[in-house]
Amino acid sequence: MLLNTLDRDASITILGSTGSIGESTLAVARHIENLSIFALTAKSNVTTLLSQCLEFTPRYAVLVDSQSANTLAEALRSAGCETKVLVGREALEEVASDSQVDMVMAAIVGAAGLAPTLAAAKSGKRLLLANKEALVMTGDILMDAARQNGSTLLPIDSEHNAIFQCLPTVAEGIGASQVKFVDKIVLTASGGPFLDTPLDQFAVITPAQACAHPVWSMGSKISVDSATMMNKGLEFIEACFLFGLSADQVEVIIHPQSIIHSMVHYSDGSVLAQMASPDMRVPIAHCIAWPQRITTEAPRLNLAAAKTLEFREPDLVRFRCLSLGMEAARVRGTAPALLNAANEESVSAFLAGRLSFNRIAEINADVMAQIPCEPAVSLAIIIEADSRARSLANSLINNG
Ligand code: NAD
Ligand code: MG
Outline which parts of the chain fall under CATH 3.40.50.720: 10-155
Average confidence score pLDDT of the chain:
97
Q: For residue 268, what pLDDT is reported?
A: 98
In CATH, which superfamily holds the domain spanning 10-155? Answer: NAD(P)-binding Rossmann-like Domain (3.40.50.720)
Q: How confident is the model at residue 400 (pLDDT cuts 50, 70, 90)?
A: confident
Outline which parts of the chain fall under CATH 1.10.1740.10: 333-400
Q: How confident is the model at residue 216 (pLDDT cuts 50, 70, 90)?
A: confident
Determine contact, residues 15/104, Cβ cutoff 8 Å: yes
Q: For residue 203, what pLDDT is reported?
A: 95
Q: For residue 338, what pLDDT is reported?
A: 98
Q: For residue 176, what pLDDT is reported?
A: 87
Determine contact, residues 94/369, Cβ cutoff 8 Å: no
Q: Show the beta-strand stretches assigned E in 247-384.
A: 250-254, 260-266, 271-275
Share of the chain above pLDDT 90, in %: 96
Rounded to 5 degrees, φ, ψ at 352 are: -85, 0
Which alpha helices (DSSP H) does 112-267 contain, by range?
114-122, 132-138, 140-148, 158-166, 207-211, 220-228, 230-243
pLDDT tens, 6-60? 999 999 999 999 999 999 999 999 999 999 999 999 999 999 999 999 999 999 9
Q: Does 215 contact ligand 1 (Cβ within 6 A)?
A: no
Q: Does 131 contact ligand 1 (Cβ within 6 A)?
A: yes
pLDDT tens, 160-196? 999 999 999 999 899 889 999 999 999 999 999 999 9
How far does CA 310 lie from the centroid of its chain? 25
What gap in Å lies between CA 174 and CA 166, rounded to an integer?
Answer: 12
Rounded to 5 degrees, φ, ψ at 70 are: -60, -45
Q: Whose CA is nearest to atom 42 of ligand 1?
A: 157
Q: Does 49 contact ligand 1 (Cβ within 6 A)?
A: no
Q: For residue 127, what pLDDT is reported?
A: 98
Residue 152 has pLDDT above 90, yes or no: yes
Q: For residue 213, what pLDDT is reported?
A: 86
CA of 86 to the centre of ligand 2 (A): 31
What gap in Å lies between CA 327 and CA 324, rounded to an integer?
Answer: 5
pLDDT tens, 312-345? 999 999 999 999 999 999 999 999 999 999 999 9
Q: For residue 115, what pLDDT is reported?
A: 98
pLDDT tens, 217-249? 899 999 999 999 999 999 999 999 999 999 999
CATH T-level fold of 333-400: Rna Polymerase Sigma Factor; Chain: A (1.10.1740)
pLDDT tens, 105-144? 999 999 999 999 999 999 999 999 999 999 999 999 999 9
Q: How confident is the model at residue 214 (pLDDT cuts 50, 70, 90)?
A: confident
Nearest ligand 1 atom to alpha carbon 216: 40
Rounded to 5 degrees, φ, ψ at 276 are: -170, 160
Q: How many CB atoms lie within 10 A of CB 9?
A: 11
Q: Does 278 contact ligand 1 (Cβ within 6 A)?
A: no
Q: For residue 215, what pLDDT is reported?
A: 87
First CA to last CA distance, the chain = 55
pTM, full prediction: 0.98
- Average pLDDT in the 258-267 region? 98
